[in-house]
A and B are shown apart, each in its own frame.
Chain A
Amino acid sequence: MTVDFLIDWFSTIGNFPILAFILAVVISGIPLFLFMALNAMVAVYAERKVSAFMMDRIGPMGQGPGLHAGKWGLLQTVADAIKLLVKEDTIPQTSDKLLFKMAPFIIFIGAFLGLAAVPFNSSLQVVDFNVGVFYIIAVGSIGVIGIVMAGWSSNNKWSLYGAMRSAAQIISYEIPAGLSIIIPIMMAGTMNLQTMIQFQSGSIWGILPNWIIFNNPFTFLAFFIFFISAVAETNRTPFDIPEAESELVAGWMTEYSGFRWAVFFLSEYANMFVVSGLAVAGFLGGWQSPIPGMFDSAGWGLFWFMVKVIFLIFLMMWFRWTFPRLRVDQLMHVCWKVFIPIAMFNIFGVGIWKLIIG
């Protein structure tokens, strides 16, 4: 959307297609990158505070800049970011230097490409793909390559174990996530994110908003399967066996420090945003207002979308500080023997529901 608009706009000014293309991509890419950085900074602060409140602590506090990190610790993430940027970037002597240096950026590309298709509101979306839902699922798998690359090139047994666990976990949980996201596709009859969100306008019996999650019992179940699988795909607790600090030091990130490690962090939080955005667009009505027929303008759309996504990210943090980590075999058991059968049953159920009730 934004890219197409910019290319069209540039073509009205003059005939310089290559320059217009590069400019359009850069102009829509830079805000996206800034958004990614901002998202990580806010999310790190929120994570510190949420974890603190859940453990009955107060988290980062302080008055004014200097040794203390701002009011209510608001400058804490700024301090964190500066620390990460000026930290020494160590590269192990026995590592595979080229792959070691490249890995963070492959992971970053995976997260960044996903963000490009997130529909913030009816017009604010970098690219509006015909196959948007499938696209987000697909670029998520580029990150796995980066994780495996990071784990292998570190030449360290903990990193390698972490990478292998991560690859096994992400490949496995892609299946229930993919099977569950098929359900909004079946309901709306499209893979285009904007059309899918428009399908969810209006209300059910005048009370509930007409979101896909409220449409029938199967879609209700499918949302939870998708969301839990999405949490597993972002490698977060209780599914964080790839970095399990009590067994694997820090898993595939063990040898990384400084800026490269910061890129991992940026990508993790961007991934959280992307999967939450996909869950919101597919099941929770995207930028549609929760009160049918009210607060429907584009500005409110952005607001509702962000509120829903932030709520889902908060849920992920809540999970992290509530549930203990799953063991490897439990993780695979949950995926293959519980989620995949339920997800398949859901597809069948939604198909029957659509045939009979409509």
Chain B
Amino acid sequence: MANFVFWLIVGLTIGSAILVVQSKKLVYSAYALLFTLLGVTGLYVFLWADFLAVVQVVVYVGGILILIIFGIMLTNKITSVNISNTSVQKSIGSIVLLVFIAGLGFMVYKTPWVSVANSEPAQTTETIGRLLMIDYLLPFEVASLLLLGALIAATTLSRKDD
């Protein structure tokens, strides 16, 4: 059962990811990204990372994807843009792809993977909370300061007056 659902989700993720890259219309790419992101959510669920899965939906689907679609909607008419340059550099591209896949395969083969028992952890949120608020408190706070700085900078840049 788990295998069947897993391959279904993998198919959804990869299929929609190919659509994202291949689609001639920018809007279709953006909407195909929705299914890619939901597929990745499914993969997180298979790793027993329920909290991370939900965060994935909130942040990527609810935030980033909507901003991307917003940007496309505001800059684009419904008659899609003409892509004038359709060359994808097939020969050089395939060489780069092969080298990349070979490198990745070598890395996957050489890494000493640590295998853990495939069982449901009792509480994921509690562990994450402990790690964030006790073990990694300083990096956590620094990250929030960085985000606050980015927020203030964005507001300052987008204001026209004063």
Residue of A nearest to B80 (CB): A96
> Which chain B residues border A155 with CB–CB below 8 Å?
78
Given contacts A96-B27, A152-B73, A171-B66, contact A141 B57 (CB under 8 A): yes
* A145 lies within 8 A of B27 (CB): no
How many Å from the CB of A86 to the closest CB on chain B? 30
Tell me which of B31, B34, B124 contacts A130 (CB under 8 A): B124
How many Å from the CB of B43 to the closest CB on chain A? 16
Stretch at the interface among A13-21, A43-51, A72-80: A13-21
The 5 closest A-B pairs by CB, nearest first: A141-B62, A17-B1, A138-B57, A155-B78, A21-B1
* B50 lies within 8 A of A145 (CB): no
A191 to B125, alpha carbons, bound, how many Å?
8
Q: Is B4 an interface residue (CB 8 A)?
A: yes
Q: Is A281 an interface residue (CB 8 A)?
A: no
B interface list, Cβ under 8 A from A: 1, 4-5, 27-28, 31, 34, 50-51, 54-55, 57-58, 61-63, 65-66, 69-70, 73, 78, 123-125
Chain A interface, DSSP helix/strand/loop, else mixed: helix
**Size of the chain A interface, CB-CB below 8 angstroms:** 37
Tell me which of A106, A138, A142, A148 contacts B70 (CB under 8 A): A148
> Which chain B residues border A131 with CB–CB below 8 Å?
50-51, 54, 124-125
* B4 lies within 8 A of A18 (CB): yes
Residue of B nearest to A151 (CB): B73
A interface list, Cβ under 8 A from B: 7, 17-18, 20-21, 94-96, 98-99, 102, 106, 129-131, 134-135, 137-142, 144-145, 148-149, 152-153, 155, 160, 163-164, 167, 171, 174, 191
Given contacts A130-B125, A164-B70, A171-B63, contact A138 B58 (CB under 8 A): yes
Residue of B nearest to A171 (CB): B66
Residue of B nearest to A152 (CB): B73
How many Å from the CB of B2 to the closest CB on chain A? 8
> Which chain B residues border A167 with CB–CB below 8 Å?
66, 70
